[in-house]
Amino acid sequence: MSLSVGDVAPEFSLPDQDRQVVSLTGLRGTPVLLVFYPFAFSRICTGELCQLRDELATYTDAGVRVLALSTDPAPALKAWREQEGFDFALLSDFWPHGAVAQAYGVFNDKAGMAVRGTFLVDAEGRIAFTEVNGPGDAREQSGWKDAVAQLAA
Reported pTM = 0.96
The mean pLDDT values, 10 residues at a time, for the chain of 153 residues are: 91 98 97 97 94 96 97 97 97 96 96 95 97 84 91 81
pLDDT on residue 1: 60
Q: How far apart are CA 86 and CA 2, in angstroms?
A: 29
- Among candidate residues 9, 32, 33, 45, the one labeled active-site is 45
Judge contact between 147 and 129, C-beta under 8 A: yes
Class of domain 13-152: alpha beta
Q: How many whole angstroms separate alpha carbon 74 and alpha carbon 136?
A: 23
Can you give the pLDDT at residue 28? 96
Residue ranges with strand state E in the chain: 13-15, 21-23, 32-36, 65-70, 89-92, 107-108, 113-114, 116-121, 127-133
Instruction: Return the pLDDT at 33.
Output: 98
Residue 45 catalytic? yes
